[in-house]
């Protein structure tokens, strides 16, 4: 590595260390914002377990303040598959996840000057169908994802936290 590259890497680490959260227009922020949409579209809208399998590491862990700990991608995706199998595909989706505008934050993670991961934090709300078939407000909650780049450079969630669930009623 040339001396100018070392200086650039040092300045980049210093800049990220001082500023922390990436700007909303930063390419990494935009990429992980798209990954967030892809993840929740697969989980709530399309029941696409193949997409979910691609978005989580094998050693994935999900920490939920009401539902407890789920360990392993297979277990986590399996629970979605069971729920999707029971769902009437002709009926409206039973639940919606809505990201609170402007709540998404992304913090890059570096090791030896190389980007290896990122922390993504945000707030989302949920709506559920009531017995009349109308959506009603559910909880509002915070979430944190630890995204890791795999060997092929693909982003995958390794850890997910879902917490501070509170009723919007």
Measured in degrees and rounded to the nearest 5, phi and psi for residue 57 equal -75, 160
pLDDT tens-digit profile, the chain (169 residues): 555 555 545 544 544 444 478 898 899 999 999 999 999 999 988 989 999 999 999 999 999 999 999 999 999 999 989 988 888 777 778 889 999 999 999 999 999 999 999 999 999 999 999 989 899 999 999 999 999 999 999 999 999 999 999 998 7
Measured in degrees and rounded to the nearest 5, phi and psi for residue 150 equal -85, -175
Q: From CA 12, how far away is CA 18, in angstroms rounded?
A: 10
Tally the domains of the chain. Answer: 1
Find out whether 147 and 168 touch, Cβ atoms under 8 Å.
Answer: no
Show Cβ contacts of residue 16 under 8 Å, excluding neighbours closer than 6 positions: 108, 110
Q: Tally the residues of the chain.
A: 169
Residue 112 belongs to domain with CATH number: 3.10.450.50
Range of the domain at 11: 3-167
Q: What's the pTM?
A: 0.83
């Amino acid at each position: 590595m040339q001396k100018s590259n070392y200086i650039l890497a040092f300045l980049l680490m210093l800049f990220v260390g001082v500023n922390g959260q990436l700007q909303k227009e930063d390419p990494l922020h935009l990429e992980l914002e798209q990954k967030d949409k892809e993840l929740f579209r697969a989980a709530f809208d399309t029941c696409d377990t193949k997409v979910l399998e691609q978005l989580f590491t094998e050693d994935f862990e999900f920490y939920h303040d009401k539902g407890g700990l789920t360990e392993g991608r297979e277990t986590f995706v399996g629970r979605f598959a069971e729920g999707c199998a029971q769902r009437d595909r002709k009926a409206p989706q039973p639940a919606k996840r809505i990201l609170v505008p402007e709540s998404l934050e992304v913090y890059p993670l570096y090791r030896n000057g190389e980007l290896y991961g990122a922390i993504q934090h945000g707030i989302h709300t949920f709506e559920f169908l009531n017995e009349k078939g109308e959506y009603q407000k559910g909880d509002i909650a915070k979430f944190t994802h630890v995204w890791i780049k795999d060997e092929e450079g693909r982003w995958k969630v390794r850890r997910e936290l879902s917490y501070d669930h509170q009723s919007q009623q």
